[in-house]
A and B are shown apart, each in its own frame.
Chain A
Amino acid sequence: MKKFIVLFLAILLPASVAFGAPEKPLKIGAILNYTGPAAMLGPLFKNGIVKALEENDNKIAGRPIELIVEDAAGDPSVCLEKARKLVERDKVKIIIGPLMGDAHLAIAPYMANKNVLITTLYCGDIQLGNYRNWLTYPTTLVGLTVPLGWYAHDSGYKTMVMITSDYAGGHGFMKGVRMGFEQKGGKVVQEVFVPVGTADFGPYHSTLKDADCVAFFVPNTAESARLITQYREFGVKMPLLGTTLAADLPEAVMKDLGDNVIGVRGQAAYIWSRDNPVNNNWVKAMEKRFGMTPGGLANNSYCITSAILAALKATGGDESFDKLWPALVRVQLDTPQGPLSFTPEGFAITDGYIVEAKVIDGKYMWDPIKVYPQVLDPRLAK
């Protein structure tokens, strides 16, 4: 009889764990933009996160995943408020986002204090590495754009004019271009700083010095489009090289820009038309799931989420920071953008692209013309 009871309990107890007490959900927070100047970007980032979660059946190590999305409204103070809500009320230990560099700096001390894993969505400043809880994807601001400086010199350009949006992110991006260009022996002959939100670039275009090329960074779609349109209208003939192009000017917008955009070359973190099996399969799956071709933003959030999920698998679903962080910086994945790994400080190492605006088969698109493999910010490489 005793044997029977022991046998009965041995069968019943695990079953009660499985059926009677469901696994506690693993909460992942995301701070995206649904209102404000970058309102159009929130849904695109969310698509990448959702896809990565769906590939894992929204579960990790048997625990269901609950995604909690908050709107940062493009405002650092709102972002801090939302981060506090996620950490203190929702008790999340992992947050994907925010996007803007000023928001990173606003929430970084709080996040470090709370031991929460946090990520950038589109680059981050090198100083985030000091906190050792930031996953910076696809690399630093400088690391992202340094290939454009190399490419400009490789194309035979010896002198360059730079148009730089006058804020921390703009300075960071263009520092990378300058660093790459000067590393190879090029010379920047003029740097024009333009305020964020510049409506009229005409006065700037009329004062550009003669050089072999003009490199620029201005944030968001509207400003990039205005800069390119007005550059053409004012008949400036120097070759135009842009940063963060595929993200700022997606193909739907390129069509509106028409001939003005054709021939513009520049740097892109990810481009959907890169021909490799991992990327081709992912693009098809994204098109089927969301009805649109994915861009750099969906790729970024997809790769970030995939890396986090891979680390969670390694910890057996334990999201406590002390377990998760070491597992995360050891993750190696083959992603749509290329092979992905991380430095001990949490900076991603992956491929960088140079693209050119073309019309191919009647479609406006960014054509990848050169790949710089496994790019790392030169300051981290030292």
Chain B
Amino acid sequence: MEQFIINLLNGLSYGMVLFLIASGMSVVMGAMNIINLAHGVLYMIGGYVGWTIAVKFGAPFVLGLLAGGLAAGFTGLMLERGFLRYLYKQPNEQVLLTFGFVYILTNLSLWVWGGWPRMPFTAKFLSGSFEILGRAYPKARMATIIIGLVMAIVLWWLQDKTRVGAMVRAGMDNKEMAMGLGINMERVFALVFFVASCIAGVAGVLGAQLLGVYNALGLEILLLALIVIIVGGVGSVQGALLGGILIGVIDAFGRALFPKLAMFTMYFTMIIILLVRPSGLLGRRT
């Protein structure tokens, strides 16, 4: 029983990191029809900046979260205002451009932070373990689950219960009609991209508690984010949450029960979902 609980918690904590990575990318894809392959690099930048603030300068972990989120947010905003806004409805160009930025930003991070990976870090009060059913369990993982759930509620509220969220959803359904009603969609899109990039940065700092930070993260994380989006469905926070938790839990149990097949469990899940529900579990049917 305790093994089941431990693996469930492992899956939930990993799933929350996956949710945070995927949610911003999913909303950008759904609301703006932009395929941002540089989303994983924004996660990495958040992680590096968070490490610099929380570990190198010894500031509180919360400041690291804030700085990581803002650094990724402004990098994302620059990407959107400087380049992507000229490429709406041009998916091929978007893919090429953002994939190019994966390499550019990865190399910039190599110059700034060097090649050595940064170790997993967390707040002082979250380091160490607590006992659950007679087994040690890391406090930082439990905190990741709680923070992930809080973020999910905040994002759901922003998306479904606020005026800005309504504008975003209106733009998703019919951009021209929304603009006809006087909504400045360009400003809304810039805001959405900024917030999505901020979430990626925050996820980078939170994820660093488990994974640390290193310069290959941009591409590794991108692949995971795409799997979660495919499983959960494009364009909704709820879809990203469900996809993240499902992939995280299946991956954790897969590793524990069938370690030799661990590489395939999440891909196998993705294939099944694609066959049964091609638009993802909570994706909008087209």
Contacts and interface: CB of A to CB of B under 8 A. Distances in A.
A252 B118 CA distance: 10
A39 B129 contact: no
Nearest to B139: A233
Interface residues of B, number: 40
B118 A37 contact: no
B10 A36 contact: no
Interface in A192-225: 192-195, 197-200, 202-204, 206-207, 220-222, 225
B256 A206 contact: yes
Closest 5 A/B residue pairs (Cβ):
A40-B115, A235-B136, A203-B255, A233-B138, A222-B117
Contacts of B251: 200, 203
Contacts of A202: 6, 10, 14, 138, 141, 252
Interface of B is mostly: helix
Q: How large is the interface on A (under 10, 10 to 19, 20 to 34, 35 or more residues)?
A: 35 or more
Interface in A152-191: 166
B211 A256 contact: no
A50 interface: no
Given A195-B262, A234-B138, A253 B256 contact: no
Contacts of A193: 259-260
A194 B117 contact: no
Contact of B7 (A199, A203, A233): A203
Contacts of A220: 117
A199 B256 contact: no
A220 B107 CA distance: 19
Contacts of B55: 256
Given A222-B212, A226-B212, A234-B136, A204 B120 contact: no
Nearest to A41: B115
Contacts of B272: none
B120 A225 contact: yes
B3 interface: yes
A158 B183 CA distance: 72
B43 interface: no
Interface string B14-30: 10000000000000000
B8 to A, nearest CB: 11
